[in-house]
Structure 1
Amino acid sequence: MCMGSALRSGPCFLLGNFPIPSISATPSSVIPWNGSVKILCQGTLESYLYQLEIRENLTYRVVEKKLGFQEVAEFVINHMDTNTAGRYQCRYGKEHRWSAPSEALELVVTGLYDKPFLSTNGGQVAMPGENISLRCSSAHVSFNRFSLSRPGGATLSRHRDARLQGDFTLGPVNLSFSGVYMCYGWHSGRPYVWSAPSNALELVVTGTTSQDHTTENWIRLGMAGLVLIVLLAILAENQLGPQVIHQKDQQDLPDLSWSRQESQTEWTFRLTPKDHQGYS
């Protein structure tokens, strides 16, 4: 059977048993009002038709099509607003058949409401293994949903059924939790329309883990071994040095040998080298 309204203006494609495409957004799926975003739909090298769709309740609406053999198709939204925010999916066609749709990609537009305030109940510095509690609050707008995110990254958590504030717990934390965090407020009736971003809150996770200690211990052992080798070399040089010097100096010292004359009882000393034989 055909895909109904999705292909009213095109040929009738059947559903094929193809790999499911993947969909992503760059630079982020959270876009400020009037900002631009690029949607990437990845299929196969044999794909010659791509289709971007936006979900509307139980059905969907075709947004744009791309024709041409390519593994990845790019769709650009130049101006994000409340009409372009929503849940997107894509699919590709080959061999006169359509793939199944991708998973949903949620595009959110921000800046429609005043920004909330992000704070931490404890300090902004934590040790690995600890938990960090954050609070997103609004003094002027009665949001019933709050979201915590990092700039350029995915939404980390969403707090539901809140009134004026949302509490988030991060942890147990490690060094990767260090960075800048922001939060947004929104209403459950308009899940893809968020407030302006809150103030940026920087968290720092400091200290070392057991793996870090092991690495440091190996470094210390290596340095100790190097110092030991240097000390042994110095000691060996000090022991061999005087012997070499003594052997060299002996060549310049007189050779005090003695001989007993057959007819005399006196001792005769001979001085060497040859230039001193005149004194014998």
Structure 2
Amino acid sequence: MVTNGNSVNIWCQGAQSASEYQLYFEGSFFALERPKPSRSMNKVRFFISQMTSHTAGIYTCFYQSGELWSKSSNPLKLVVTGLYDTPNLWVYPQPEVTLGENVTFFCQLKTATSKFFLLKERGSNHIQNKYGNIQAEFPMGPVTRAHRGTYRCFGSYNDYAWSFPSEPVTLLITGGVENSSLAPTDPTSSLDYWEFDLSTNESGLQKDSAFWDHTTQNLIRIGLACIILITLVWLLTEDWLSKRKDHEEANRLTNWECRRRWRMQHYFEEEQRNAISMMELKATPGAL
């Protein structure tokens, strides 16, 4: 778990021959790092400067060796806390019970939520979760000495964005010799750290296209589509300009032809008038 606003280091470890590491978030490309020659070639750090609800979720990493990509690392689930109000946690019948007694934790958040989580500090197993609107119950069953410890609870609308932690409640177990048949029904754990490691399997190098950088492939497709679109626009523009030029040339030739014909007609008319005038002069004797 990481408090909202805190920074996080995620380490991805692969092979000495690795040339590139890629971090994926919720199945999509998130970041890329290349090993620095001055450092170990089989490990890189991905830095998240500020954890928010948008960066909380499941992370995996891959590395590239030559033309091959590794299999995915085991998933890392990052939870961000401090996003909602603070819930209340209490235990029934009381914080101090005898060995084998039934115990139930109650977590309540006045701001309506959909899921509650119960964690045991310095635990070693999974986190308990229950659905509820304002309150959830966590029955522990007959308690053993493994149940003793300090607990906190959280409220949430999803698995990776949690509320502030409740005040701690310490469960004390008293009584005689523990019955070996009494085992914890649902033990809890804590994930209170801010540096995480992801390891990939060197023997799992594959050439499967599913392991290539999907984001790069998408960018290549988008780039090709843009080039095709630009080419089409250019061709259409060239065609339009060519047609416009032909049209203007045709108009120019038409205008020139009209002017030429007008001049020729005007010339013939003028010649005809001159010829008529000459004929009239010849036909009139007194004019000589």
TM-score (normalised: structure 1): 0.55
Q: Which residue of 2 aligns with 1:192?
A: 160
Please report how far the alpha carbon of residue 128 of structure 1 lies from its aligned counterpart in structure 2 after TM superposition: 4.2
Q: 1:118 aligns with which of 76, 89, 109?
A: 89
Q: 2:171 aligns with which of 203, 211, 231?
A: 203
Q: Percent identity?
A: 32
Question: How many angstroms apart in 2 are the aligned matches of 1:46 and 1:80?
Answer: 31
Q: In the superposition, relative to structure 1, how do residues 122 and 146 fare at CA in structure 2: closer, same or farther (>3 Å)?
A: same
Q: Does 1:104 align with 2:75?
A: yes
Question: How many angstroms apart in 2 are the aligned matches of 1:70 and 1:82?
Answer: 32
TM-score (normalised: structure 2): 0.53
Q: In the superposition, relative to structure 1, how do residues 174 and 75 fare at CA in structure 2: closer, same or farther (>3 Å)?
A: farther
Q: Which residue of 1 aligns with 2:115?
A: 145
Which structure shows the bigger proportion of residues in strand conformation? 1
Q: Does 1:136 align with 2:104?
A: no
Query: Unmatched 5+ residue regions in structure 1?
Result: 1-29, 213-280
Per-residue CA shift, 1:188-212, capped at 9, x if unaligned? 4xx4221111111111234454699
Q: In the superposition, relative to structure 1, how do residues 126 and 48 fare at CA in structure 2: closer, same or farther (>3 Å)?
A: farther
Query: Unmatched 5+ residue regions in structure 2?
Result: 181-288
CA RMSD of aligned residues (A): 2.7
Question: How many angstroms apart in 1 are the aligned matches of 2:145 and 2:117?
Answer: 22
Per-residue CA shift, 1:65-104, capped at 9, x if unaligned? 2425544433232311122212211122224311111232
Code of the aligned partner of 1:148: L
Q: Is the 8 A contact 2:53 2:161 kept in 1?
A: yes
Q: Which residue of 1 aligns with 2:139?
A: 169
Which structure shows the bigger proportion of residues in helix conformation? 2
Code of the aligned partner of 2:22: Q
Code of the aligned partner of 2:28: Y
Q: In the superposition, relative to structure 1, how do residues 206 and 93 fare at CA in structure 2: closer, same or farther (>3 Å)?
A: farther
Q: Is the 8 A contact 1:52 1:89 kept in 2?
A: yes
**Alignment length (residue pairs):** 176
Q: 2:53 aligns with which of 62, 82, 88?
A: 82
The list of structure 1 runs, each at least 4 consecutive aligned residues, that deviate by more than 6 angstroms after superposition, is none
